[in-house]
């Protein structure tokens, strides 16, 4: 909350690290008739992956409902959500949204996403990847990684190959959208053979952030303090 107290905003949007988030895909179920039934189904899927009644301690968020298409689901610890609500309420700051890192990266690319593709998001020590096609979201993974660019690129390629083997569809040929350090873009393109598009913080947003910080604070220091969570704030 230190940076928040320095900036003193009236509203805030929080990006949660993928170190604290769990991702999975929910296939379309035509028999589900209400939001409560869809949430119960997502909770059952979460428990199947992470253990019986694991969902009790997590708040599950699902992507927008599109009939006939699979959803991307994500889970954030309820204790974290409760703490954020309490802290921002005490600071008299209106909390507009809480979104995981990968979901924020997807949102940053939303205006240009094709009918099928991949979005990869990197933050220190963590790589997250989601894939979709005409049937909706069909792959989601988040894994620990070291900081070597070659290792990160190889890990992305590895996840794509695993997804291809598991689905039997043309996942490998999909375009890649990357939210990561600029130097990683060339490495990913070299290892995957893909044309990679990258989201970057706009100059207008950089100026807006710097104008609100103490004079001695640099952009590099600010981004480090945000822990890469600055992505997705918009221009």
What is the model's pLDDT at position 205?
43
pTM assigned to the model? 0.75
Count of domains forming the chain? 1
CB 118 within 8 A of CB 161: no
Instruction: Let me know if residue 9 belongs to a domain.
Output: no
What separation in angstroms does the CA of 82 have from each of 19, 74, 78? 18, 17, 6
Burial track 42-56 (b if 16+ CB lie within 10 A, e otherwise): bbebbeeeeeeeebe
pLDDT of residue 171: 56
Chain centre distance of CA 160: 17
Encode pLDDT of 31-63 as tens digits: 998 999 999 999 999 999 999 999 999 999 999
Please indicate, yes or no, if residue 123 is contained in any of the structural domains.
yes
Residue 22 domain flag: yes
Q: Output b/e per residue, 70-108; b: 16+ Cβ within 10 A.
A: bbbbbbbeeebbeebeeebeeeebebeebbbbbbbbbbb
CATH number, residue 59:
3.30.420.40
Whether 34 is covered by a domain: the verdict is yes
Considering the domain boundaries, does residue 63 fall inside one? yes
Sorting pLDDT into bands at 50, 70 and 90, what band is 114? Answer: confident
pLDDT at 46: 96
Specify if 3 maps to a domain. Answer: no
Q: Which residue has the higher pLDDT, 10 or 24?
A: 24
CA distances from 91 to 13, 83, 86 (A): 14, 12, 9
Parent domain of 91: 17-213
Q: Is residue 233 part of a domain?
A: no
């Amino acid at each position: 909350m230190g940076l928040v107290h320095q900036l003193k905003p009236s509203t805030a949007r929080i990006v949660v690290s993928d170190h604290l988030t769990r991702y999975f895909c929910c296939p379309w179920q035509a028999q589900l008739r209400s939001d409560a039934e869809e949430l119960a189904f997502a909770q059952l899927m979460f428990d199947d992956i992470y253990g019986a009644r694991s969902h009790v301690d997590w708040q599950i968020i699902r992507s927008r409902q599109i009939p006939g298409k699979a959803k991307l689901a994500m889970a954030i610890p309820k204790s974290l959500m409760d703490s954020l609500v309490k802290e921002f309420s005490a600071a008299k700051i209106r909390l507009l949204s809480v979104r995981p890192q990968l979901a924020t990266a997807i949102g940053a690319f939303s205006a240009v996403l094709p009918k099928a593709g991949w979005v990869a998001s990197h933050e220190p020590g963590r790589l997250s990847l989601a894939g979709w096609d005409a049937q909706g979201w069909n792959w989601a993974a988040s894994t620990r990684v070291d900081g070597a660019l070659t290792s990160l690129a190889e890990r992305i390629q590895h996840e794509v190959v695993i997804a291809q083997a598991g689905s039997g569809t043309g996942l490998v040929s999909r375009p890649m959208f990357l939210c990561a350090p600029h130097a990683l873009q060339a490495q990913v393109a070299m290892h995957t053979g893909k044309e990679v598009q990258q989201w970057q913080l706009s100059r207008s947003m950089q100026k807006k952030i710097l104008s609100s910080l103490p004079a001695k604070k640099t952009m590099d220091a600010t981004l480090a303090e945000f822990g890469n969570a600055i992505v997705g704030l918009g221009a």
